[in-house]
Amino acid sequence: MLEEIKQISLNVKEELTKINTLSELEGFRNKFLVKKGAIQKLFEQLKTVSADKKPIIGKELNSLSKFAEQQYNILKTKLENSKSATQSLDITLPGRHQYCGTYHPVRQVVEDIVAIFKSMGFDVAEGPQIEDSFHNFDALNFQADHPARDMQDTFFVKSNQNDNDILLRTHTSPVQIRVMQAQKPPIRCIMPGRVYRNEAINSRSLAEFHQVEGLYINKNVTFAELKATMIVFAKKMYGEDSKFRFRPSFFPFTEPSAEFDISCYLCKGHGCKICKNTGWLEIAGCGMVHPNVLKAGGIDVEKYMGYAFGFGIERVALLKTGIDDIRYLYENDVRMLKQF
Ligand code: PHE
């Protein structure tokens, strides 16, 4: 019987080397390990063996049975694991998207605005965000009692008894003065940057926002040129068939002055909270530079004149992106930012 055990043991070993799949393993089990399998048959036979030989043969048989069982279990776990591994690798699944950082929508709009004005021959300049009241107000022809000088509207950094206070600039117009002081006409320049106003925050306004200032100084500059520049900009930014309008307005530093409006994107002109039910969104102020401002900038008013404009970048960004609340731009929710 020892011979038989040896033979089955060889068979077991040989079969084991051939197993590559779970169904082949099942075949192995049916051949050797089940009740009617080869090993169990040997155990039946063991009953007929004489008592003196039983211990030796029994030991051999036991170790064969144990070996076969062990190998079966090892292969089973191995094959099952590799099965689940191939199952979890579903090559038909769409790949995981890698998100790459992009410019913030406000940054993108600044870049767009700068690119459009550059294509019209404008240079780019910048000025300080912490200004003095000379550049922010006096040089821009604000009267001493102008309400914008009030604490209610302006964040003051340092008060000098009304003598050139230090403040956070309330608009980018002071950069006009700095550019005039630094350059000789003809000047054609845009000045993007961050500005601050002590304002209640709501869906249309923030206390900290961005503007792009524009300044053109040359001989014989006309209001018609200003209008044309604004219209070319609006068409490039919002498309050929965008609707816009000029409204008479007032700024201390321009005369005459106008407000430049774009038809509200949200309500298509019917009226909503963003356009305060007017159907129009005011995106820029503009006008012919006041002679007092030219003088403060050191420009010869007998020879030169100019126009200026100032865009509210967040407003332009709302129109461009279709966002209906300015605050979304600065909550920095990745789900929102990912869309741009
Ligand atoms: N500085 C003005 C504002 O902040 C905008 C403006 C700029 C108007 C230049 C006219 C000319 O509202």
Residues 243-257 pLDDT 10s? 899 999 999 999 999
Whether residue 129 is predicted with pLDDT greater than 90 in this model: the reply is yes
Tell whether ligand 1 has an atom less than 6 A from the beta carbon of residue 174: no
Q: Ligand 1 centre and the CA of 234: distance in Å?
A: 17
Tell whether ligand 1 has an atom less than 6 A from the beta carbon of residue 254: yes
Q: Whose CA is nearest to atom 7 of ligand 1?
A: 310
Whether residue 123 is predicted with pLDDT greater than 80 in this model: the reply is yes
Mean pLDDT, the chain, whole residue set: 89
- Mutate which of 136, 154, 171 to test ligand 1's pocket (most atoms within 8 Å of Cβ)? 171
Tell me the average pLDDT across 64-78. Answer: 90
Token digits for 67? 């070996």
Tell me the average pLDDT across 253-272. Answer: 86
* Pick from 75-84, 129-138, 219-228, 295-304: least confident: 75-84
Tell me the average pLDDT across 5-33. Answer: 89
Whether residue 320 is predicted with pLDDT greater than 70 in this model: the reply is yes
C-alpha span between 158 and 163 (Å, rounded): 11
Whether residue 152 is predicted with pLDDT greater than 70 in this model: the reply is no
- Going from the C-alpha of 325 to that of each of 9, 23, 102, 195, 200, the distances in angstroms are 80, 63, 21, 19, 14
| 214 CA: nearest ligand 1 atom | 9
10 Å Cβ neighbour count for 255? 15
Task: Judge if pTM exceeds 0.75.
Answer: no
Tell me the average pLDDT across 158-167. Answer: 80
Tell whether ligand 1 has an atom less than 6 A from the beta carbon of residue 308: yes
Q: Whose CA is nearest to atom 10 of ligand 1?
A: 286
